[in-house]
Structure 1
Amino acid sequence: MKKVFVSYHFTTKDGEFNGFGNYVGKFDAEGYDDIAKFILELQDVIANELLHKIEKECQVKVLYFR
């Protein structure tokens, strides 16, 4: 397992909130041959965490990761 650091922008689907954030997580580097799929999955994971934190559905865009 490797760590990933992500900077992202989010907007709630109702347009009430938007902003920037950072996410630190772990991933299995062996399971990702396609970088686009990796980024899309990161966006889904972050959106799910935001759903639990602010209780609103969000659209997330990854700006930077390493």
Structure 2
Amino acid sequence: MTSPRDRRERLVALLVAGIAVVLLVSSPTWFASDQTVVGVAQLFLAAVLAGVAVFLYRRAQRR
């Protein structure tokens, strides 16, 4: 049986992954409006958040 802490960690990981996906999908808008710096920053943030989500999800699975 999973503990409430593991469940919470998995849910936070999924939330962070969802935010990363939204940032990734919306980044072409910045490139299309000639704001490349914002688009690159958004892609970088999406990659960082995806990494955090993977870390949290794996940590919750190990317990």
- Which TM-score applies when normalising by structure 2? 0.38
Kindly name which structure, 1 or 2, has the bigger radius of gyration based on alpha carbons.
2
Which protein is richer in helix relative to its size?
2
